[in-house]
Every structure is written in C-alpha cells, then in structure tokens.
C-alpha cells in the first residue's frame, strides 16, 4: 500500500515538474530535434531557396518574392551576395513536401533569414516551426519603420481611404471599407497571405462610403461581394498575415493574428 502511494506521489511530482518547466522542456526538445550542418552554397534558386551538396534548402520563417513579382531579382541578388560560394551553417528542422531541407542559415554570425526580412526583401512566414518568431517580427517592424522595399507604404490617393473593417480568418471572409467620400479604383490591387495565396481585384471600383466583402468560394461576383476562387484553405489557424497592396505593389495595410 505504501509502495503504491509512493508511486502515485512520484507521478504527481513529475507532472508538477513538467508543468512548471514546460517551456524549458520544449526548448530542450527543439534543441535535440534540430540538426546543424556546415555546407558550401553552390546555387541560389530564388530569394528563399538555395542549394548545397545537390540538395535544396528552403529558408524557414520567411517568404520572398517569386519570379515575376516585384523585388524578385533584387532579393535573389542580395542572397547571392550573402551566401553564394560561401560556407554557411544550417540549423535544420526536417524537410518540406518537396523534400527540401528547412533551415535557418547563418554566415559570420548573421541569421540570413532575419536579414532578408529586415532589409525588406521577404515577409515573415511562420508555420509550425516558430523559432525566432520574436526576432523575425522585430525585423519586419524595423522594415516598416524604414519604409523600404516590400515595406514601402503606398502613395496612392486611396491608400488612406481603405480600411480593414472585418477579417474573419476562420470563415475566410474579409471586409474592406472606403471611408473617403470619393470612389477608389482598386484595379490591380492585391490581397495576399504570408505565403503564395493571392487575390487580385479586376476592374473593381469601391465607392465612397461603401464596403466590399471578399469570400472564399465559387459564386458569382456581386456589387458588394467578391469571391476568392481558390482550392484549399487561405489562412492558417496557427497565425498568418493579410497584406493589401496597390497596383504598384506598395503596401496599403497589413494585419497579423
């Protein structure tokens, strides 16, 4: 009987220790799960993908412009200047569905992933692995304050008119409101998540004092409802960002959750 009580008490103490030290154990688990490797970078594919030893590496925590998008070449060039034909240290966290290694990249003590965000050549893109979340978000704030590249504020006459009235990411619905007393031509403006999902306004005018709702689905567009025709989810439950950009790619607003 005493032995059984002792076992129960021991289990209770272990549970208490676990609860008190959860963050410590979590960080310890991350430390053991990640893998470090020093490699020579032989190729830069784009602003967030590089190659070493014949395998691809996807930079974690960020998303850079794709080919055809604004700042694609500038981002790729910066990354080439930082790492091409140089030895870097990888902090690896498994692979993605394309079999690319997911990693934070370091050179001379600099976290390259964070550096790209800081310079305005990538936005924060946090999935399940949220290490360096604080540092990445601080880098984005720094970019916004310096008003450069992807963080450059729109000078469109309607940039201060359009406000985000409601953002229901669970039901994937967005409402924008034109608080000005004049109409705003949003043709070519785009809504984007942290990743690659994009909605582009096509010949759309948001009248002064009116609102527009964007819903995921395949219905027929109406005067006050537009449908984001896309397969799968748009916004992640673990956290995401809505970006609204004008027809020149300049930032009108963003909202993170």
| Global pTM exceeds 0.75 | yes
Same domain, 116 and 161: no
Same domain, 124 and 219: no
Same domain, 17 and 41: no
Three-class SS state of 103: strand
Q: Which pLDDT band holds residue 32 (cuts at 50, 70, 90)?
A: very low
As a whole number, the mean pLDDT across the chain is 90
Same domain, 79 and 128: yes
pLDDT in tens, 82-92: 999 999 999 99
Same domain, 51 and 17: no
Same domain, 95 and 131: yes
pLDDT in tens, 92-115: 999 999 999 999 999 999 999 999
Q: Which pLDDT band holds residue 4 (cuts at 50, 70, 90)?
A: low
Same domain, 176 and 199: yes
C-alpha to C-alpha distance for 120 and 213, rounded to whole angstroms? 30
Same domain, 22 and 42: no
Same domain, 52 and 160: no
Instruction: Residue 207: give its domain's CATH number.
Output: 2.60.40.1260
Q: Which pLDDT band holds residue 19 (cuts at 50, 70, 90)?
A: very low
Q: Which residues pair with 250 in a beta bridge?
A: none
Domain boundary among 150, 173, 205: 150
Q: Which residues pair with 166 in a beta bridge?
A: 175
pLDDT in tens, 136-152: 999 999 999 999 999 99
Instruction: Residue 74: give its domain's CATH number.
Output: 2.40.50.90
Q: Which residue has the tokens 């409802």?
A: 225
Same domain, 177 and 188: yes
Q: Which residues pair with 228 in a beta bridge?
A: 216
The number of folded domains in the chain is: 3
- pLDDT for the residue numbered 26: 38
- pLDDT for the residue numbered 98: 94
- Chain-centre distance of CA 158, in angstroms? 25
Query: What is the domain extent for residue 230?
Result: 154-256
- pLDDT for the residue numbered 131: 85
Q: Which residues are catalytically annotated? A: 58, 66, 100
Sign of CA dihedral 27, 28, 32, 35: positive
Same domain, 174 and 214: yes
C-alpha to C-alpha distance for 228 and 221, rounded to whole angstroms? 9
- pLDDT for the residue numbered 25: 35
- Chain-centre distance of CA 25, in angstroms? 27
C-alpha to C-alpha distance for 104 and 94, rounded to whole angstroms? 11
Same domain, 69 and 16: no
DSSP annotation of 153 reads B
Is pLDDT at 30 greater than 80 in this prediction? no
C-alpha to C-alpha distance for 204 and 39, rounded to whole angstroms? 49
C-alpha to C-alpha distance for 120 and 123, rounded to whole angstroms? 7
Lowest average pLDDT, out of 27-41, 115-129, 218-232, goes to 27-41
Q: Are strands 225-228 and 101-107 parallel, antiparallel or unpaired?
A: unpaired
pLDDT in tens, 8-17: 554 555 455 4
- pLDDT for the residue numbered 21: 44
Which residue from 176, 167, 171 is spatially nearest to 241, judged by alpha carbons? 167
């Amino acid at each position: 009987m005493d032995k059984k009580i002792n076992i129960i008490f021991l289990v209770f103490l272990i549970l208490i220790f676990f609860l008190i030290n959860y963050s410590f154990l979590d960080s310890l688990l991350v430390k053991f799960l990640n893998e470090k490797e020093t490699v020579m970078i032989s190729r830069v594919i784009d602003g967030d993908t590089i190659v070493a030893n014949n395998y691809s590496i996807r930079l974690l925590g960020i998303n850079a412009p794709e080919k055809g998008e604004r700042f694609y070449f500038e981002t790729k060039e910066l990354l080439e200047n930082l790492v091409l034909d140089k030895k870097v240290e990888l902090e690896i966290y498994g692979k993605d569905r394309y079999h690319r290694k997911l990693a934070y990249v370091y050179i001379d003590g600099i976290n390259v992933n964070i550096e790209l965000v800081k310079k305005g050549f990538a936005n924060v893109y946090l999935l399940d692995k949220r290490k360096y979340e604080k540092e990445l978000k601080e880098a984005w704030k720094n970019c916004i304050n310096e008003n450069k590249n992807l963080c450059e504020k729109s000078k469109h006459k309607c940039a201060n008119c359009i406000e985000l009235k409601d953002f229901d990411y669970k039901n994937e619905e967005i409402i924008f409101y034109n608080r000005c007393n004049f109409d705003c031509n949003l043709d070519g403006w785009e809504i984007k998540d942290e990743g690659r999902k994009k909605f582009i306004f096509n010949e759309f005018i948001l009248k002064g004092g009116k609102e527009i709702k964007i819903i995921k689905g395949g219905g027929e567009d109406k005067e006050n409802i537009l449908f984001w025709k896309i397969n799968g989810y748009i916004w992640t439950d673990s956290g995401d960002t809505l970006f609204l950009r004008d027809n020149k790619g300049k930032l009108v607003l963003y909202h993170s959750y």
